[in-house]
Amino acid sequence: MQSNKLRNHIPIAAPARRSAADGSESDLRVSLGFEPRWFYERCDVDFSEKWHKDPHYRHRTLVEMKDLLTEKFPSTDYWDEEEYKDGLWTISGCYGAYVIPKAFGFDLKYEPDRWPDLAKENEKLSLEEMREVTVEDFLATPLMDDIFEQMEVIEKEGGKIPGYLNWQGVLNNAFHLRGEKIFTDFYTNGEAAHHLLSVIAEAMIALAQQVQERQRESGFYVDHFVVSNCTVNMISPETYKEFIYPYDKKIGGEFERFGVHTCNWDVTPYLDELRELPQVGYLDMGMNSDMVQAKAKFPRARRAVLYSPEKLDQAPLEKIEEDMGKIYEDLGPCDLVMADIKSDTPDERVRELLRICRELRR
């Protein structure tokens, strides 16, 4: 029987994504990622618009960045995994976390040393616009022409089209498009909120399936989706069940593998609702979560903990050792998601983290 598990995957210089687990994962697998400034200062990589639109430039910088990572952290084989062998010609990281807002027509602001952000000039959807939005507003977009043109180049140069775009989740995307008003809409404009969330879900499914089908045609197999519920702690479990769960469930039923990203938050209050989603093969959480309960309720999922980059940088080594021991004991086998490592965090501190996890696995 094929496993439906997913593991955390942080493409080089891109926000965290997930990839299919293959059974080779260790009981405490470290998934390392660094903020763009880390590479900007060491490799002089410019993460402005050309990095997101020019696959040749992106490939050239990824080769440099991978070489540096393997030099700095020789004890880890993370960058030898299959997705990194194929992943230097890639769509991973394109447009950061804002693929869906950009497909809708929102402008992005680019910086040379960080991921793109939504431009402040974008006007959030009014209530009337929220009621009238359609799936076609997302599908008929120049963005997808650009993505498919890039994929043609990547296939020609690399033979396959690897990588993972960041589709986010329905609540995250609704927040990007509607702003903070979406949270009061749940109580005052419930019907309009459901309409917007439904349209976003349909658009996410359609766009992801188009891209993944093209990737499979090239020989890179991908058929999964992980909803990013980074804003879930801003709503109650009851509100999640009423407004977000139906669309997470719908998305989960459209893909071969499915998972839930809850960011570095306390997932505990939402565990019962999340457990009702179809075939959850991945679930991550923050350190404040009841990890013992999460493991008991999701025994067949690949579980993961997001560790704070500030804590890695500033906490005493003894505290980091204590935290790793608790993660391993309470949640293992699992992934440690060590993303967004700060540019001024000493390399030796990262190597110490890897050593601690290696010794725990022994």
112 assigned to some structural domain: yes
Q: How many Å apart are CA 271 and CA 292, to the nearest integer?
A: 12
pLDDT in tens, 115-162: 999 999 999 999 999 999 999 999 988 999 999 999 999 999 999 999
Q: What is the CA radius of gyration of the chain?
A: 20
CB 50 within 8 A of CB 111: no
**1, pLDDT greater than 50:** no
CB 28 within 8 A of CB 333: yes
305 assigned to some structural domain: yes
The pLDDT of residue 191: 97
**309, pLDDT greater than 70:** yes
Number of domains forming the structure of the chain? 1
pLDDT in tens, 53-105: 999 999 999 999 999 999 999 888 777 766 667 668 999 999 999 999 999 99
325 assigned to some structural domain: yes
Name the pTM for this structure. 0.95
CB 301 within 8 A of CB 282: yes
The pLDDT of residue 86: 63
pLDDT in tens, 187-209: 999 999 999 999 999 999 999 99
Per-residue burial over 45-81, b if 16 or more Cβ lie within 10 Å, else e, is bbbeeebbbebeebbebbeebbebbeeebeebebbee
**34, pLDDT greater than 80:** yes
Token pair for 94: 């394109």
Task: Name residue 40's amino acid.
Answer: Y
Cβ partners under 8 Å of residue 86, min gap 6: 158, 160, 162, 220
> Residue 139: which CATH number?
3.20.20.210
Q: What is the dihedral of CA 230, 235, 239, 240, to 10 degrees?
A: 20
83 assigned to some structural domain: yes
The pLDDT of residue 26: 93
Stated as kind and residue range, the H or E segment containing 7 is strand 6-9
Band (179; pLDDT cuts 50, 70, 90): very high
112 upstream amide cis, omega within 30 of 0: no
1 assigned to some structural domain: no
Angle between helices 190-218 and 245-252 (to 10 degrees): 20
State mean pLDDT over 271-296.
96
- State which residues form the domain around 320: 6-361
208 assigned to some structural domain: yes
Angle between helices 181-188 and 170-178 (to 10 degrees): 100
Q: How many Å apart are CA 361 and CA 153, to the nearest integer?
A: 41
